[in-house]
Amino acid sequence: MNRIFLSTLLLSAGFLSLTLSSCKKETPDTETQASVDNAVCEGEFNSRIQVINSIAINQPGVKDNRTSGPIVTVDPADTLNGFPITMNIDYGTLGIEDSIDHKVRKGKMIVRFDASWHTLGAIAVVKLVDYYVAKSTGANFVMYSADSIILTHMTAGSFTQNVIGGKCISSDFNLEWSSDRTVTQTEGILTTSNPYDDVFSAAGSSKGKDRNGKSYSVNITSPIVKRASCSWIEKGTLDLTPEGLPVRTVNYGDGACDSKASITIDGNTFTFNMN
């Protein structure tokens, strides 16, 4: 009798354990930090080719036609001796609001051209010096730097962009970012004196480390699009894979200029803010 009771008890306990186990729901993967941090670096580094192109395409006589923005100078010795030419794009030390995307920038971009930017195959090497960006007046600055930024003019309106050892640093985070991209100007090519209507798309890959020190890789699956006059990426999709986690699909939207993007993980979709 005791043996029968014990067997029944063990069978019931096993069934209860199985039932509880089968009813327990897995916690969904909602980690978006790498996607947020990638957007912090991606947006600013990608926008720099737009600025450099809009200024340099006016050579000879490098100029910038913004209503407000950086002071652009070319080393007089380079002007006399020809290429390579070094161009300084100086936002000052206090910070000025850019009239195109209304972000506040300070510091310098020093760009060395080995040939006229009109020349296919021309290479521009960019150095960021004490370069900071804030999303608006009064907002916290993020410092951007890189071991090297190399732009190559491949075809009319198309460039390669290689960011090596990129850093995006603020009081809240210390991010790493590198990229191997092809950037194409899709609008504003014929209006070289008007940088406000420029639109660029980017395809390729990148990698980085988020604020938690977790590595991730990125592959653009549909070209990401940024209008010069918008502070954020407006369109396109990419697959982002954080270390040890499943791939995330990031969708930047349908072309609206806002800070919202969506991320899909294991079939679940969330929204996040690119700021």
Which residues make Cβ contacts (< 8 Å) with residue 241, sequence separation at least 6? Answer: 216, 217, 218, 247, 248
Reduce the secondary structure of 162-206 to three states and give it as a string: EEEEEEEECCCCEEEEEEEEEEEEEECCCCCCCHHHCEEEEEEEE
Whole-structure pTM value: 0.81
Q: What pLDDT is recorded for position 205?
A: 96
Token representation of residue 98: 């850019």
With 50 as the cut, is the pLDDT of residue 61 above it?
A: no
Q: Which helix (H) or strand (E) holds 124?
A: strand 123-134
Q: What pLDDT is recorded for position 165?
A: 97
The domain spans of the chain are 30-214
Structure confidence by residue, pLDDT tens digits, 226-247:
888 888 889 999 999 999 999 9
Q: Which of 179, 203, 188 is nearest to 57 (CA)?
A: 188
Q: Please answer whether residues 87 and 110 qualify as being in contact, where contact means their C-beta atoms are separated by less than 8 angstroms.
A: yes
Q: What pLDDT is recorded for position 99?
A: 80
Structure confidence by residue, pLDDT tens digits, 124-171:
999 999 999 998 888 899 999 999 999 999 988 899 999 999 999 999
Where residue 230 falls (left for φ over 0; alpha for ψ -120 to 50; beta otherwise) is: beta
What radius of gyration, in Å, describes the C-alpha atoms of the chain?
Answer: 25
